[in-house]
Chain A
Amino acid sequence: MPMIVGKQQGGRDLRSRILLAGALMSALMLVLAGRLYHLQITRGEEFTAKSFDNFVKETRVPADRGMMLDNRGRILVDNRPSYNVTLTPAFCQPSGAPKGYCLDEILPKLATYLSLTSDEVERVREQYRKARGLKRFRDFTVKLDVDLDALDRLEANRLELAGIDVVAAPHRHYRYGALAAHVLGYMNEVTGEELDGFEKKGIEGYVLGDYIGRRGVERRFESDLRGVDGWRKTIVDAKGRKIRGSSHLLGDLDRLTPPSSGHNLVLSLNLPLQQAAEKAFEAAAAGALVAVDVNTGFVLAMVSKPAYDPNKLTGRITRAELRAISEDPLEPLIFRVAQEHYHPGSTWKVVTALAGLKTGTHGAHNSVFCNGGYSLGRRRWRCWRDAGHGTVDLHHALKHSCDTFFYAMSDRMGIDAIAEMATELGFGRVPGLDLSPEVPGIVPSTTYHDRVTPGGYTKGLALNTSIGQGDVNVSPIQLAMAYAAIANDGTLYRPQVVRRIEDPDGKLVRALEPQVVHKLDVKPEHLALVGAGLNAVMNEPGGTAYYRRLKDVAVAGKTGTAQVVKLGSTRIKANQMTFFQRDHAWFAAYAPFEQPEVAVVVLNEHGGSGSSDAAPIAMAVVREYFRIKAEEEAARNTPPPEPAPKATPSASPPASDPLPALDSGTTREASRATKESAPWT
């Protein structure tokens, strides 16, 4: 038993000390409270911000890119949902799973379900190995744009595929594949260098991995098509993992800053006409076609062949396919309408003719006798018809495409008169279609030849130039705009393909007006004379394209057969030449002759002769133009029972697209059409 001895007063003795201890404790507790005040009240907001930085991860919600519609509101390009399969290493190989579980167990199954190639499997292995530390919680893409069958297989075997996710991502969808591919363009990933450039220019909104428009309208109207991305706040834990069902932690913070969609573009292209043009072009290996509204300069159809599928080039192309494209001798990536130039051949004769009329070298009734050629000095220039055309005036020279007449004309007026008229008609400078790099073409003049030709300018060069040979080079779009200017009595338009920019609800943002380059400094009667000659080509017996004429519509046109290589004294047949030696077949036309609406230019590269290898293609397009026009007029007279459904992205497959919407609400075009001479643009 413990004994407690002496004058024990217990705690009483120690009271002052205990009191002191209590005071000290209180003081130190007060220090803690002060510290808490500093952290929670004074710096509370700072730490709150830091805690949000910790757990709130902002992910971008990509804006829907604007659609491209044809001139009747039919969707040409939109966005379709696509599904990418991703792998998150940390979840594929959870702690506790046997070593190599992800690569040896899951990956082979995945490869089977997705039909991965051995290359693709190897890439997955590589990326898996590269992911270390917290990066193991970041997913990477196994396969882009998985088809629905594979998706079903994945879904059915979901449970055995740890760490595998299917992520939906909108993908650009060119509904008609290669149709108008060069006009529409394509997209691919923005490069690091471009991003640096954007930063310097202050362009915002792009990050690595974003797609950006390449070529065509996609590129030219990138800023209109691209919307503004939104942001979604997601919650991540300390390891960067997304935590589902924790959104209450965000409190009243906005979870989503919605993206705003890009603007839709209403093109001037007409889908059925474009389809007809592509179809008519099927026989040709390579070439270009332009159909343009002569009264506005808006393009109705445009073909550059061979083409490519923009769906493939937009991030879905394999190396082999890309190599095939880049090694194709016909160079599918080149936009032949504006990016390449060719000898125009006899289609050029309108230029020489107008130059002759302007300079007064040859009036309407001056004649030349063609005996199958023209002699200058000791050389002789052959007419394409060895037998000669006899006595021809301007009208007949155009109708028969008599070379001799134009030789004689140019011999008298010289090359510079032709060059001047060519410049007037828009040749020799870039046409400003702005869908690709553009070539200005070549308009030879004395100064040009003095500069580039050994020995300088000699008179014979004017003769070559007069029939669109020699050094003359034009792009198909230049030729089309020149013929349109002749057709519309002298207004040279700048070619355009986009008519209107609309917001996603269809409200007009901006309308693109026809742009006049200039009024031709050419007398109307001269244009009329040339026009009459072009009419004769098709509509008078003996014209070079008489057999291509249409029953109902008078079409004016001009054939052209441009030599590519200088031939020897004896002509050889086309089938004796290699493809790249063969002539270019041209046809340039406009219709109706009396009240022109549409101009069509066809270049069948190395195709043979203008009348048999280019004119039929052009006439098919002209015929289709008037067929569609008649159809639309008929539809306008008998209104459809119900309003045509408004176009929505990927709402309906292309085949079931409504016919041109012509009722009041949806036909922006139709209401305009009644006021304009051409019902289309």
Chain B
Amino acid sequence: MDLVAPGRSTARQLWRNIPWHILALALLIAALGVWNLASASRAAYAPIWKSQIYWLLIGLGACAGTMLLDYRYLLKLAYPIYGVVVLLLVAVLVRGHAAMGAQRWLDLGPVHLQPSELMKLAIILVVARFFHEDPHTKEGYSLLQLWLPALLLAVPVALVMKQPDLGTSMMIAAVAGSIILVAKVRWRSLLVLAAGFVASAVFAWAYLLKPYQKKRVLAFLDPEGDVLGAGYHASQSLIAVGSGQASGKGWGHGTQTQLSFLPEQHTDFVFSVWGEEHGFVGAVVLIGLYLVLLVMMLAVAASAREKFGSFLAVGVAAMVFWHVFVNIGMVTGLLPVVGVTLPLLSYGGSSVLTNMIGLGLLMNVAMRRHLF
């Protein structure tokens, strides 16, 4: 059992070990997402739910592809992948495609690539690899011992911030931070981290945040204060969700949705469509589905054969979780408005691909947990 060669497992075994329940649940959520988009896109005159299906099919392909290669190869590939994605991020800054006041896209012929999305996966790989190899588990890590993951994290976060894309850089940090926390950090270190976070937040407010980002934060603190300005998204979103009441207005009957009061209703604010049309019951059901999915993912983490797999699974679960939490928190006014998508519900190729590849990664870990 010292050396494990992945090639030994048979295809039949692998097939049997695929966590079908996870895939099924993920696809169920994705199907609800398409159904929801079909309502949201009625007002926009473009049947984007169809393109969402195409993206999901492509994502399924990517997911299957990710599952083919034994994840343990990724131990070696982690740093190279990370390096490539960092280079892509630099490329975006140098000659990227600007949209909505930010440079986030890289034009690769027919495809627009959003490297910051890829970084969410790459950061999982490198951080998982770091903790896989590092033995300091029993007593927990001190801050000094964390200099390398801290650096690995700081570089992409800074690059994505610069685009500027506060939401994604926060997501990258949150995913990495979650793995670090699971990997055991001393309590003292946590306190220092918290202090550092507050300090950097103050610093960022003073020097780093763009005016529009500040406006959003202020609008979050008082969403009703500037209903037509920066608080418009937030307050319209609250109205949409709140007016759903217990059972919702019904599919296709959400007035906020159908009459275009919601901005970004296909992407970042897609949950307000769901909340308005399906009400508290529908919202809780959706959140419940996400939670069940997360528990299944964490179960994969807990049953992984070795730490790298565990950290990968934790990373994917953390990625899904933070997206869900921050997105719904933002839509319901708990958190400031940042550009974070809702996994499998938001429209968009980048988001679908990232989540499906992450899912593939996780299933990769799950299907190979017994192969020794």
Q: Say yes or no: B308 contacts A4, CB within 8 Å.
A: yes
Q: Say yes or no: B302 contacts A11, CB within 8 Å.
A: yes
Say yes or no for B2: interface residue by CB 8 A criterion. Answer: yes
Give bound CA distance, A238 to B179, whole Å: 43
Q: Which residues of A contact B284 (CB under 8 A)?
A: 33, 36
Q: Say yes or no: A22 contacts B6, CB within 8 Å.
A: no
Q: Which residues of A contact B178 (CB under 8 A)?
A: 21
Say yes or no for A235: interface residue by CB 8 A criterion. Answer: yes
Q: Say yes or no: B182 contacts A40, CB within 8 Å.
A: no
Which residue of the partner chain A has the closest CB to B260? Answer: A238
Of the listed stretches A49-57, A319-327, A542-550, chain B binds A49-57
Give bound CA distance, A5 to B307, whole Å: 11
Say yes or no for B47: interface residue by CB 8 A criterion. Answer: no
Say yes or no for B275: interface residue by CB 8 A criterion. Answer: yes
Say yes or no for B301: interface residue by CB 8 A criterion. Answer: yes
Q: Say yes or no: B261 contacts A54, CB within 8 Å.
A: yes
Give bound CA distance, A10 to B308, whole Å: 7
With A25-B291, A243-B259 already in contact, the answer to whether A31 and B73 are too (CB < 8 A) is no
Q: Say yes or no: B310 contacts A235, CB within 8 Å.
A: no
Say yes or no for A640: interface residue by CB 8 A criterion. Answer: no
Say yes or no for B226: interface residue by CB 8 A criterion. Answer: no
Which residue of the partner chain A has the closest CB to B248? Answer: A40
Selected A-B contacts with CB under 8 Å, 24 pairs: A1-B73, A2-B72, A2-B75, A4-B4, A8-B306, A10-B307, A10-B369, A11-B301, A11-B305, A26-B291, A29-B290, A32-B332, A33-B283, A39-B238, A40-B244, A44-B243, A44-B245, A51-B243, A51-B256, A51-B276, A54-B255, A55-B255, A55-B256, A238-B261
Give bound CA distance, A408 to B91, whole Å: 121
- Which of B246, B259, B287, B333 is in CB contact (< 8 Å) with A237? B259
Which of B4, B255, B260, B308 is most buried by chain A, counting CB atoms within 10 A of its CB?
A: B255
Q: Which residues of B contact A285 (CB under 8 A)?
A: none
Beta-carbon contacts under 8 Å, A460-516 to B: none
- Which of B241, B258, B308, B318 is in CB contact (< 8 Å) with A40? B241
Say yes or no for B164: interface residue by CB 8 A criterion. Answer: no
Give A290 Cβ to nearest chain B Cβ, in Å. 61
Q: Say yes or no: A25 contacts B304, CB within 8 Å.
A: no
Say yes or no for B22: interface residue by CB 8 A criterion. Answer: no
Beta-carbon contacts under 8 Å, B109-166 to A: 137
- CB-CB contacts of A9-35 with B at 8 A, as 1s and 0s? 111111101110110011011011101
Q: Say yes or no: B253 contacts A249, CB within 8 Å.
A: yes
- Which of B256, B304, B305, B328 is in CB contact (< 8 Å) with A32? B328
Say yes or no for B65: interface residue by CB 8 A criterion. Answer: no
Give bound CA distance, A313 to B334, whole Å: 60
Q: Say yes or no: B302 contacts A18, CB within 8 Å.
A: yes
Q: Say yes or no: B310 contacts A10, CB within 8 Å.
A: yes
Say yes or no for A46: interface residue by CB 8 A criterion. Answer: yes
Beta-carbon contacts under 8 Å, A180-225 to B: none
Say yes or no for B211: interface residue by CB 8 A criterion. Answer: no
Q: Say yes or no: B260 contacts A40, CB within 8 Å.
A: no
Q: Which residues of B contact A39 (CB under 8 A)?
A: 238, 241-242, 275, 332-333
Say yes or no for A3: interface residue by CB 8 A criterion. Answer: yes
Q: Which residues of A contact B325 (CB under 8 A)?
A: 25, 28-29, 32
Say yes or no for B68: interface residue by CB 8 A criterion. Answer: no
Give bound CA distance, A514 to B48, whole Å: 76
Give bound CA distance, A35 to B329, whole Å: 8
- CB-CB contacts of A36-64 with B at 8 A, as 1s and 0s? 11011101111110111011000000000
With A17-B182, A54-B255 already in contact, the answer to whether A41 and B246 are too (CB < 8 A) is yes
Say yes or no for A248: interface residue by CB 8 A criterion. Answer: yes
Q: Which residues of B contact A28 (CB under 8 A)?
A: 321, 325
Give bound CA distance, A22 to B253, whole Å: 36
Q: Say yes or no: B334 contacts A32, CB within 8 Å.
A: yes
Give bound CA distance, A54 to B256, whole Å: 8
Q: Which residues of A contact B333 (CB under 8 A)?
A: 35, 39
Q: Say yes or no: B241 contacts A36, CB within 8 Å.
A: yes
Query: Main secondary structure on chain B at its contact with chain A?
Result: helix
Say yes or no for A246: interface residue by CB 8 A criterion. Answer: yes
Which residue of the partner chain B has the closest CB to A17? Answer: B182
Number of A positions contacting B (CB below 8 A): 52
Say yes or no for A151: interface residue by CB 8 A criterion. Answer: no
Q: Say yes or no: B334 contacts A8, CB within 8 Å.
A: no
Say yes or no for A239: interface residue by CB 8 A criterion. Answer: yes
Say yes or no for A236: interface residue by CB 8 A criterion. Answer: yes
B residues apposed to A, CB below 8 Å: 2-7, 43, 70, 72-73, 75-76, 137, 178, 181-184, 236, 238-246, 249, 253, 255-256, 258-261, 275-276, 279-280, 283-284, 287, 290-291, 294-295, 298, 301-310, 313-314, 317-318, 321, 324-325, 328-329, 332-334, 369
Q: Say yes or no: B301 contacts A44, CB within 8 Å.
A: no
Q: Say yes or no: A1 contacts B7, CB within 8 Å.
A: yes
Q: Which residues of A contact B294 (CB under 8 A)?
A: 22, 25
Task: Other than A21-B318, A32-B332, give 4 A-B pairs with Cβ distance below 8 A.
Answer: A36-B241, A44-B244, A51-B240, A55-B261
Q: Which residues of A contact B4 (CB under 8 A)?
A: 3-4
With A35-B334, A51-B243 already in contact, the answer to whether A18 and B314 are too (CB < 8 A) is yes
Q: Which residues of B contact A18 (CB under 8 A)?
A: 182, 298, 301-302, 310, 314
Give A397 Cβ to nearest chain B Cβ, in Å. 85
Give B371 Cβ to nearest chain A Cβ, in Å. 12
Q: Say yes or no: A2 contacts B73, CB within 8 Å.
A: yes
Give bound CA distance, A55 to B276, whole Å: 14
Beta-carbon contacts under 8 Å, A346-388 to B: none
Q: Say yes or no: B307 contacts A13, CB within 8 Å.
A: yes
Q: Say yes or no: A35 contacts B287, CB within 8 Å.
A: no
With A10-B304, A243-B259 already in contact, the answer to whether A4 and B242 are too (CB < 8 A) is no
Q: Say yes or no: A21 contacts B298, CB within 8 Å.
A: yes
- Which of A11, A44, A243 is in CB contact (< 8 Å) with B309? A11
- Which of B70, B75, B76, B246 is in CB contact (< 8 Å) with A44? B246
Give A22 Cβ to nearest chain B Cβ, in Å. 5
Give A255 Cβ to nearest chain B Cβ, in Å. 14
Give bound CA distance, A21 to B297, whole Å: 11
Give bound CA distance, A31 to B275, whole Å: 16
Q: Say yes or no: B302 contacts A14, CB within 8 Å.
A: yes
Q: Say yes or no: A13 contacts B137, CB within 8 Å.
A: yes
With A8-B306, A246-B259 already in contact, the answer to whether A41 and B290 are too (CB < 8 A) is no
With A36-B283, A249-B259 already in contact, the answer to whether A21 and B182 are too (CB < 8 A) is yes
Q: Say yes or no: B259 contacts A21, CB within 8 Å.
A: no
With A10-B305, A14-B182, A44-B242 already in contact, the answer to whether A249 and B3 are too (CB < 8 A) is no
Q: Say yes or no: A235 contacts B259, CB within 8 Å.
A: yes
Give B75 Cβ to nearest chain A Cβ, in Å. 5
Q: Which residues of A contact B275 (CB under 8 A)?
A: 36, 39-40
Q: Which residues of A contact B280 (CB under 8 A)?
A: 36-37, 40-41, 44
Give B190 Cβ to nearest chain A Cβ, in Å. 13
Beta-carbon contacts under 8 Å, A236-286 to B: 236-239, 243, 246, 248-249, 251
Q: Say yes or no: B76 contacts A2, CB within 8 Å.
A: yes
Give bound CA distance, A331 to B89, whole Å: 85
Which residue of the partner chain B has the closest CB to A249? Answer: B255
Give bound CA distance, A249 to B259, whole Å: 10
Give bound CA distance, A33 to B288, whole Å: 9
With A18-B298, A22-B294, A44-B245 already in contact, the answer to whether A54 and B259 are too (CB < 8 A) is yes
Give bound CA distance, A41 to B280, whole Å: 7
With A36-B241, A40-B245 already in contact, the answer to whether A236 and B295 are too (CB < 8 A) is no
Q: Say yes or no: A29 contacts B287, CB within 8 Å.
A: yes
Give bound CA distance, A26 to B183, whole Å: 20
Give B212 Cβ to nearest chain A Cβ, in Å. 21
- Which of B238, B291, B318 is in CB contact (< 8 Å) with A47? B238
Q: Which residues of A contact B260 (CB under 8 A)?
A: 237-239
Q: Which residues of B contact A55 (CB under 8 A)?
A: 255-256, 259, 261
Q: Say yes or no: A12 contacts B302, CB within 8 Å.
A: yes
Give bound CA distance, A2 to B276, whole Å: 50
Give A119 Cβ to nearest chain B Cβ, in Å. 37
- CB-CB contacts of A161-184 with B at 8 A, as 1s and 0s? 000000000000000000000000
Q: Which residues of B contact A47 (CB under 8 A)?
A: 238-239, 241-243, 245
